[in-house]
Amino acid sequence: MSFLQQHSSFDTSTEQSDENENENESENKIVSNSNALALCIEQMVHKRIELTTTIQQDEDSLEQLIEQIKELNGKEKKLRKKIELNKKNKSELENTISETKNGYQRIVEATNTLMEIITQQHLPKFNINNNE
């Protein structure tokens, strides 16, 4: 017999029963914690899958936006060139219109001068009435 058993005032059968209950409680806690841990792991794995899907969708959306931006930048560049060309053509046209108006005004003035000369100098010579 061991020293503890000899000098112990406890009943060993009660001690073993208490130990068995403690072991059962410990095992139940371990099983309960294990189940809770497994559930947490399962939830984290599910969340990881959701995040992976979300990341892929966002990356796809980003790629589409980048392509749209490239396309829009190309259209913007072409449109700016077209506007620049049209402004140049408009400026040239405005110069042509101005020069044409000035030339036309000189023609009108020259015609008026010619008419004055003809009506004052030449028509009377030939007895031509300009009202006819």
In a domain, 19, yes or no: yes
In a domain, 118, yes or no: no
Which one-letter DSSP state was computed for residue 130? T
Q: How many domains does the chain have?
A: 1
In a domain, 2, yes or no: no
**What pTM does this model have?**
0.53
Q: Are 19 and 26 in contact (CB under 8 A)?
A: no
Residues 94, 96, 98: CA angle, nearest 5 degrees:
70
Domain containing residue 49: 11-100
In a domain, 111, yes or no: no
Question: Residue 70 has what pLDDT?
Answer: 98
- Across the 132 residues of the chain, what is the mean pLDDT of every consecutive 10-residue run? 46 60 78 89 97 98 98 98 98 98 98 93 81 59
In a domain, 34, yes or no: yes
In a domain, 44, yes or no: yes
Distance (Å) of CA 46 to CA 35, 50, 55: 16, 6, 14
